[in-house]
Amino acid sequence: MSLLLSWLRHLLLFVPALGTLLAGEVESQGWFVLNVLIGLLLIRIGEIRQSIGGWLLPVELVWFGYLGFHEGGLMYLLLYSSLAAAFSRYSKNGAIAMFVLAGGVMLNVVIQNNQGPAVLWSANILWCAMAAVLYMTLHATARHHHVESLYDELAHSHEQLEQARRRLQDYTGQIEQFAQAEERNRIAKDIHDDLGHRLIRQKMMLEAALQLLDTQPERAHAMLRQIRDQMEDGMERMRQTVRRLSPSDDSHSRRYALDRLIATSGLELGLDVTFTVEGIPQLLYPSIEYVLFRNAQEAITNAVRHGGAKQVNIILDYRPYELALTVTNDGAVPGEPLHHGLGLRGMEERIAMLGGRLEVQTSPAFTITTILPIKKRGIHH
């Protein structure tokens, strides 16, 4: 029970009792004071022992009705104290309605025994008005508690979202570290498999040229020229590897940008690559850029290796809730059923990490589509 309601109950007990006592209508002041103190005791017990407050309230109502009936004066106002308590003691509307009805009947019995018609009508109007105000206050308080509960749930959800955001940032950092490690491993493999074998072959050719230099100088010079040409080609491949290892210092350039992949593919593989962006572009998480880059790279490599493609069309479609990367080539279409090799399985595994899906079409041209979920508006510069 609120402090304000407790004060209201006590006032509705002491003010009518004091008014009746001062009016001189009390036959025995000692007995009257004792009865009032009993009523105060019932109120205090109900406030202290809330578990029995609902059962004690009808007893209180009967006692206050008894005082109002036998003492007269303003004692009928004690029933309003019990009315105020009913809306805090009972939680069901049916119990409140029954108490209001029973209290109203008792109020009419008390007033008819001691007061005139004018007081009867005024008391009933006040009883109904007070019941209506208390009912609206009760429901307003319930709505207020409901709003506070929703606010607490919203705050808890916000905290969970913040924790999820921090976990996603950590996950993105791990993806970047994984991507860098994979890129280093790939470059190391390229150096070992390509440049290493070239250097070994050139060393063997150089040793053969030295042996032929005195006996077959023309053949030795021809081998030396071949070694020179191969060294120039190896130096160019080394430059390309170093450029991939150390990208531009431009703060806006990205290691896994599709435009860089398209330019590199067109230069190294001799492909005619077109790139189209549809929808409203937005800044993407590095993990999404990495998956798009790797899947596009794998699709282009497969188009050249297995289909002998000469032209590749890439479309990046920003949809409301997802991002679609479509890679179409003009190479030979594989027969049915389509066999998912290491390349396609690797693409599916990368997409599954971000909750996306892979779609493959063989008609009218071989098309691989990477679909990833994104927010509606994403993160803008």
Check if the beta carbon of residue 302 is closer than 8 Å to that of residue 343. Answer: yes
At 370, the amino acid letter reads T
b/e per residue 210-221 (b: at least 16 CB within 10 A): eebeeeeeeebe
DSSP line for 154-207: HHHHHHHHHHHHHHHHHHHHHHHHHHHHHHHHHHHHHIIIIIHHHHHHHHHHHH
DSSP state of 49: -
In DSSP terms, 276 is beta-bridged to 315
Q: Which amino acid is at 176?
A: E
3-class SS of residue 284: coil
- Asked whether residue 14 carries a pLDDT value surpassing 50, the answer given is yes
The region of weakest confidence among 19-28, 37-46, 105-114, 160-169 is 19-28
Which residue carries 């993806």 as its tokens?
A: 175
Q: Which two tokens stand for residue 249?
A: 């210092």
Return the CA Rg of the chain: 45
pLDDT of residue 250: 45
Phi, psi of 341 (to 5 degrees): -85, -165
The 3-state DSSP class for residue 275 equals: strand
Are β-strands 311-318 and 272-279 bridged in parallel, bridged antiparallel, or unpaired?
parallel
Q: Which residues contact 85 (CB under 8 A, 6 or more apart)?
A: 1, 5, 9, 43, 46, 53, 57, 60
pLDDT in tens, 51-100: 776 778 888 888 888 888 877 778 888 888 888 888 777 778 888 888 88
Interstrand relation of 272-279 and 322-329 (parallel, antiparallel or unpaired): unpaired
- Among 282, 228, 220, 293, smallest CA distance to 254 is for 293
- Whether 288 and 258 have beta carbons less than 8 Å apart is answered as no
Q: And the tokens for 120?
A: 């009867």
Mean pLDDT score, 275-285:
86
CA distance 43 to 23: 25
**pLDDT tens-digit series, residues 217-239:** 888 888 888 888 878 777 777 77
* Torsion over CA: 129, 135, 138, 139 (sign): negative
In contact, 256 and 292? CB cutoff 8 Å? yes
Q: How confident is the model at residue 337 (pLDDT cuts 50, 70, 90)?
A: low
Please give the residue that has the higher pLDDT: either 1 or 14.
14
Query: What is the Cα–Cα distance from 224 to 24, expressed in whole angstroms?
Result: 136
Percentage of the chain with pLDDT > 90? 5
C-alpha angle 260/263/268, rounded to 5°? Answer: 120
CA dihedral of residues 153, 155, 158, 162 (deg, nearest 10): -130
Task: Report the greatest alpha carbon distance in the chain.
Answer: 151
Judge contact between 353 and 291, C-beta under 8 A: yes
